[in-house]
Structure 1
Amino acid sequence: MLLALDVGNTNVTIGIFQGETLSYHWRLRTVREQTADEWGILLRNLFALSHLALDGIKGIVVASVVPIVDSNLALMARRYFHTEAVFVTPQTDAGIAVLYDNPNEVGADRVVNAVAAFHKYGGPCIVVDLGTAITFDAVTAAGEYLGGIICPGIGISIGGLFAKTARLPMVDFREPEKLIGSNTVGSIQSGLFYGTIEMIDGILDRMKNTMGAHARTVATGGQAALITGASRHSLTLDEDLTLEGLRLIWQRR
């Protein structure tokens, strides 16, 4: 079995592959201060709940955009699984050419998403990842990572609005019952939801003007399911895209 970890700024997504099949997956909050032993105990408990044995793991692959956790993850892999974790870095042979001006600047998750999207859907394609940031990543017809766009995420927008205003409350992100809110909470939720949708649709319009209207569009990330049905574009929802990309990169070793 392969253990794949996608470590984001807000959440950690953990997957267990048996061959090419994603058999188990969990989404947990990212705790930057978590020690190697805390990581190990957490995984041991998840494995026990799913009746999995730690010694069944033959490899560990990680995409992390939170460098402070990497050393503890590496130590956890050695201590609890007796193996070296493979971290996706700019030097990793991911099977895709990165055309960024400085490839060292590209987040591991964005490259991993591009690998999986091209493998599953072909190119040209655009990946919209709704995480802490909302990212748009472009892959050419030849399978090259062209670059992308980075925008503030939904949580950042909610937190910023709450932090910078005196009387506006914190709200959750959901599709509002009606467009024009009749109370403060409903008005904020409408602004967040439709503002996010219009931003995504507007950026996709511009990207498709550059890449071609036939570019396939894939949505992933923790909040992707909330927006796919409301977009003007035909978005393919693939919540496990990053984990699948990690598996594909692992297979290239």
Structure 2
Amino acid sequence: MQSIAVDAGNTGTKYGIFEGNNLVKQGYFQGLENIPAEITNHTFEHAIVASVAADAADYSARLSVTGKTVVLSAQTALPVLNNYKTPQTLGADRIAAAVGAHYFFPEQNCLVFDAGTAITHEFVTSNGSYEGGGIAPGLRMKLKALHTFTQRLPLIDQIPDNFTLTGQTTQESILSGVLVGTIAELNGLIQLYSKKAPDLTVILCGGDAGFFESKLKGRIFVIPELVLIGLHRILIHNV
């Protein structure tokens, strides 16, 4: 029988349907009123729901589950040691990404970048200890902030494939500041964490992972489904 993991984020909701340990289907929707029929018309064995925006209970109430439904919270048992000082404030997607990283690379120090609305990074040690990380504005958030909080800077809402280091127009200068600056930011973090853990494994997920994949230094693993797989590992740990 199938299980489901639901990740309600800031801009929309991702879901993954699992058979055993295998992710067999995934999708995306916006708003409770747009939950796909393949979810509402299906009965699952187990479910896990995580939310950084809406009340997770609103989603779990719409699922038909014969077994256990886990609503991820600070009290949920985890397959990693959580050393975050305020677990009640820790985003569900952040801890799920950390769990997913430790699942794929169980004996390695991992640095995870989730590049979406925000860009978060998480550090997990080789012995399965989640040590925390950081939160910064994502690419589109930075572009929107420059437009919103100034009088004359234009809004750039598309991330181009080509941009220059030295901008010679206002638009080029914004793209250099945001895109080149953020790439340097992530490469700097990789360098700093590599000093802390020389055998570091770097993992990328999130909607902008493809943008950063070829622009970061060293060997990078891109796992788009990392958060969903991490949620599923938490589910398995609790059933």
TM-score by structure 1 length? 0.84
Number of the residue aligned with 1:5: 6
Q: Is the 8 A contact 1:64 1:70 kept in 2?
A: yes
Number of the residue aligned with 2:72: 88
Counterpart mapping for 1:4-153 below 5 A: 4-29=5-30, 31=31, 34=32, 38-39=33-34, 42-44=35-37, 47=38, 54-66=41-53, 68-77=54-63, 81=64, 85-122=69-106, 123-153=108-138
Q: Over aligned residues, Cα RMSD in angstroms?
A: 2.0
Deviation (angstroms), 1:218: 0.5
Counterpart mapping for 1:197-216 below 5 A: 197-210=183-196, 212-216=197-201
Deviation (angstroms), 1:167: 2.1
Partner AA of 1:133 in structure 2: A
Task: Choose the corresponding residue for 1:245, options 230, 233, 239.
Answer: 230
Partner AA of 2:104 in structure 1: K
After superposition, give the CA deviation of every residue in 1:117-141 in whole Å (9 maximum; x if it has no partner): 0110132111111122211111111
In the alignment, the residues of structure 2 paired with residue 165 and residue 28 of structure 1 have an alpha-carbon distance, to the nearest angstrom, of: 33
Unaligned runs of 5+ in 1: none
Partner AA of 2:11 in structure 1: T
Deviation (angstroms), 1:182: 4.1
Q: Is the 8 A contact 1:134 1:153 kept in 2?
A: yes
In the alignment, the residues of structure 2 paired with residue 234 and residue 100 of structure 1 have an alpha-carbon distance, to the nearest angstrom, of: 27
TM-score by structure 2 length? 0.89
Matched, 1:183 2:169: yes
How many pairs does the alignment contain?
234
Partner AA of 1:115 in structure 2: V
Q: Percent same amino acid among aligned pairs?
A: 29
After superposition, give the CA deviation of every residue in 1:20-72 in whole Å (9 maximum; x if it has no partner): 2212212334x4xx4xxx25xx221xx2xxxx883342222112112x33232
Q: Is the 8 A contact 1:176 1:189 kept in 2?
A: no
After superposition, give the CA deviation of every residue in 1:187-224 in whole Å (9 maximum; x if it has no partner): 322322111100111122112222x2211110111111
Partner AA of 1:127 in structure 2: V
Comparing both structures, which one devotes a greater share of its residues to helix? 1
